[in-house]
Structure 1
């Protein structure tokens, strides 16, 4: 295994991120539940973006809980969804069962940015007896970035399905495979909360689906904090060549000492790449690393 292949994930995203801080908005609209903007719903504002758009379109979303299901289609690129803060602007819905259709927020468009918004799937939060896949967000476009956003659910919260994505200073909550998919993504300075309760006594934070040694995708967590209640693995293999890297991150005792699980691919452990690179601290206990597979550890 070469670590250069791992850090191609970071380098590709760094290029996108560094070139995207300056936005030249050609259009700006305001969403306000009380009618003080051009639109009362987020979806209606998104619908106003012309198909084939190639200039940054600024959608300001004022404070409030927006009970709606929001979708951005592939032809509506260059949308900047700008909330009033993750505790003030919230999009919430409660669909469930299908991972393809249950997401509160879905985006298939390239070049998308969200800031200061929390995305919630309320289905499993409201009850604990009939747990089911219930996504807060699914992303399938390329070059998406989220700043100071929240993602709240229980099972399959954030589907990082495909494409290059960047998450900075975000809050992500769940218990079962709640960061999963085939994305080529960096999570930087994020707070990750395990919400262990109900029928799931041992959860999984990640389920990364890289399917071959040639695939460039994988998840990189840098400077993140992992905490919460209950117990959880850092991840389990969703693909035959699953790849997850934690860099300079802090884990509370919520993380099971075994660290990783072979998940959906028992017997294929030698092809997985799960790495702790420059690991910082594990509060409340020590890792045993008493497994004979899956982990490559660099403690420097």
Structure 2
């Protein structure tokens, strides 16, 4: 991961906050649909061309319907284009993929900057690190982001995110991930987002590179202060895989990650959590597991500084409605 991301996130947040279009509602209906089909039957052959066609500071929902197929391209939704829905034909049916790596701020296959963005029914992948053969003997595992989300009030439904290191960069803002599949091995959900992962399947695996990754980390959350509202909440869902993993390591001195009623498989390392570069700040972290189940849910060998949160308190404070949907933005997302 790049340690420049905090500066970038703060810079972009100031831009987002100044936009009245992204702060106001987009309505609750799709007013126009743009079809993308790589075979040529749609208006555009690439996802990026369809996004580019949307008018600046759009204030009504525009759907970009991406037909089945594999789209090899880097996709960026610019800050000036809110109120966009990108919808595929299904997970592993519509796939957007690319092979970039190195710095996190330039490697992402799919990058979203504005508020009020919805992505659903598709797969987004970064293929770097995922191939078992590389032509150059100097090749090594590097950060390779599949998705980077900067904008507030963004939602991802029925999506697959595939990578190995730094798969999902949850940069900043309130985000709702529901019924998603997220795959990786090293810090593969990271950033300063204020997000709920609801009924998501987390798969910890290094795939063909298992011999090079002896263990990994699911989250690297970067909360910076006690007043910072960010944090990752995993509500129900499951953690499984083939690579042993910590549930998280600290990417900030007040890192916050909570698992509630999640099915944790035996791949979870007994200690559960790691301070990383913030050893000495452990009492400032909020790492908690509430009513979890499964072979990996035994907390008897967890680090002594995990938070002991009351079940009722956790369910209320970290519910979707309380943690990210205080103003009801999710209910304004048009239905499938």
TM-score, length basis structure 2? 0.80
Structure 2 residue aligned with 1:133, among 117, 139, 143? 143
| Offset at residue 167 of structure 1 (A) | 0.4
- DSSP 3-state at the match of 1:124: coil
Partner of 2:284: 271
**1:283 alignment partner in structure 2:** 295
- Distance in 1 between the 2:243 and 2:309 partners? 25
| Residues 1:200 and 2:210 are matched in the alignment | no
Give the TM-score, by structure 1 length: 0.89
Map of 2:226 onto structure 1: 213
SS in 1 for 2:130: helix
Which residue does the alignment assign to 1:5?
none
In 2, Cα distance between the equivalents of 1:290 and 1:138?
Answer: 31
What is the Cα deviation at residue 298 of structure 1?
Answer: 4.7
Q: Calculate the aligned-residue CA RMSD, in Å.
A: 1.8
Q: How far apart in 1 are the matches of 2:310 and 2:132?
A: 41
Residue of structure 2 aligned with 1:243, choices 253, 256, 269: 256
Q: How does 1:91-240 map to 2 (within 5 A)?
A: 91-127=96-132, 130-196=140-206, 197-240=210-253
Counterpart contact for 1:275–1:298, Cα < 8 Å: no
Judge conservation of contact 1:278–1:298 (CA < 8 Å) in 2.
no
Q: Distance in 2 between matches of 1:190 and 1:39?
A: 31
Number of residue-to-residue matches in the alignment: 280
Q: CA deviation at 1:243?
A: 0.5
The structure where helix makes up a greater share of residues is 2
> What are the ranges of 5 or more consecutive residues in structure 2 without an aligned counterpart?
1-24, 134-138, 313-336
Distance verdict in 2 for CA 1:120–1:242, change over 3 Å: same
The aligned counterpart of 2:273 is 260
Alpha-carbon distance, 1:25 to partner: 1.4
Query: Which whole-Å CA distance do the structure 2 matches of 1:94 and 1:268 have between them?
Result: 36
